[in-house]
Amino acid sequence: MHILMMSLYAAVTATVLATIESKPDNFRQRLIHGLKVFAAFMGIGLILSWILFPIPW
Amino acid sequence: MQSRNDVSESLAGRYGSRKSPPPAADLKPYPMATRVIAVVLAWLVPGAGHLVLGRIGRGLLLLVLLVGSFYFGLFLHGKLYVPVAADPPSPIHFDLISILWSFAQVGAGLCYVVAHAIGLGVTGRPESPTYEYGNTFMFLAGLLNYLVMIDTFDIAAGRRR
């Protein structure tokens, strides 16, 4: 459930940010930008979860 | 003594490469009234500002994503926040966190107003396992819509396509 919600959150955020980003000139660049944002959200989320897992509170 | 224009030209020459690129010729700023209407519409209905400015695809995508995100949050038993009085009393009268959460959700415009009017999520269900997910998606929709409003203004001002 957690990973599903995180993926959905990252997908919505990445799509909106890629849509309103001004730098990409064409669809392909915009798509790559969105995928990078999505990957950043997922990667940082997973890293943080691994770091926080051993902490008891 | 150098005049103000001389100083400006001197600085422009020195830092010329740092100047923002000139806008493309086909970028035409809309009148101020249109800009204001587009931004207000963008707040009321996420994506509507882009639709008004002729960015149909982008507008529809934002509409579906942001409105969908907000109501998905309500579906997950999220709560509609309103500023509540601080307990114990504080100098700003209202509980600060309730102000911030309300600000985040109010960004979704009419989604927030309509949900409030029909009583969706007014009480919230903290006992639900998806309660926090729901809140998060509702905050997300509102906060992203603030960015969309800024983007709408930039398009209307002729700063970008």
The shortest CB-CB distance from A16 to any of B144, B154, B160 is to B144
pLDDT at residue B4 in the model: 62
Which residues does chain A have within 8 Å of residue B69's beta carbon, measured at their own beta carbons?
A: 12
User: DSSP secondary structure string, A22-56?
Assistant: SS--SHHHHHHHHHHHHHHHHHHHHHHHHHHTTS-
Q: CB under 8 Å to B26, separation ≥6 — which residues?
A: none
CB atoms B136 and A12 under 8 Å: no
- Please state, as a whole number, how many other Cβ atoms lie within 10 Å of the Cβ of residue B140: 25
A4 close to B (CB below 8 A): no
pTM, two decimal places = 0.81
Tell me the one-letter amino acid at B153: F
Q: Which two tokens stand for residue A17?
A: 């940010």
For residue B134, the chain A residue with the least C-alpha distance is: A5
pLDDT at residue B135 in the model: 92
- C-alpha–C-alpha distance, residues B152 and B161, integer Å: 10
Phi, psi of A39, deg, nearest 5: -65, -40
For residue A22, the chain B residue with the least C-alpha distance is: B160
pLDDT at residue B128 in the model: 86
Write b or e for each residue in B22-40: b if 16 or more Cβ atoms lie within 10 A of its Cβ, otherwise e: eeeeeeeebeeeebebbbe
Question: Averaged over B97-109, what is the pLDDT?
Answer: 90
Chain A with chain B: Cβ pairs closer than 8 A: 35
Q: Which two tokens stand for residue B90?
A: 């504080």
For residue A1, the chain B residue with the least C-alpha distance is: B130
- C-alpha–C-alpha distance, residues A3 and B129, integer Å: 15
pLDDT in tens, B11-44: 555 555 445 555 555 677 888 888 899 999 999 9
Per-residue confidence band for B9, with pLDDT thresholds at 50, 70 and 90: low
ipTM of the complex: 0.85
With 0-12 / 13-18 / 19 or more C-beta atoms within 10 angstroms meaning exposed / middle / buried, residue B91 is: exposed
pLDDT at residue B50 in the model: 92
CB atoms B140 and A5 under 8 Å: no
What's the whole-number average pLDDT of chain B? 84
- C-alpha–C-alpha distance, residues B70 and B101, integer Å: 14
CB atoms B69 and A12 under 8 Å: yes
pLDDT at residue A55 in the model: 83
A9 close to B (CB below 8 A): yes
The domain ranges of chain A are 2-52
Percentage of residues of chain B with pLDDT beyond 90: 46
pLDDT in tens, B132-159: 999 999 999 999 999 999 999 999 888 8
Percentage of residues of chain A with pLDDT beyond 70: 98
The shortest CB-CB distance from B147 to any of A9, A15, A20 is to A20
Q: Which two tokens stand for residue B146?
A: 């603030």
At CA B74, angle to CA A12 and CA B146, rounded to 5?
Answer: 50
Write b or e for each residue in B100-122: b if 16 or more Cβ atoms lie within 10 A of its Cβ, otherwise e: ebbebbbbbbebbeebeeeeebe
Q: Which two tokens stand for residue B84?
A: 């509540």
pLDDT in tens, B43-75: 999 999 999 988 899 999 999 999 999 999 999
Predicted confidence pLDDT, tens digits, chain A (57 residues)? 888 999 999 999 999 999 998 777 788 888 999 999 999 999 999 999 899 888 877
pLDDT at residue B7 in the model: 63
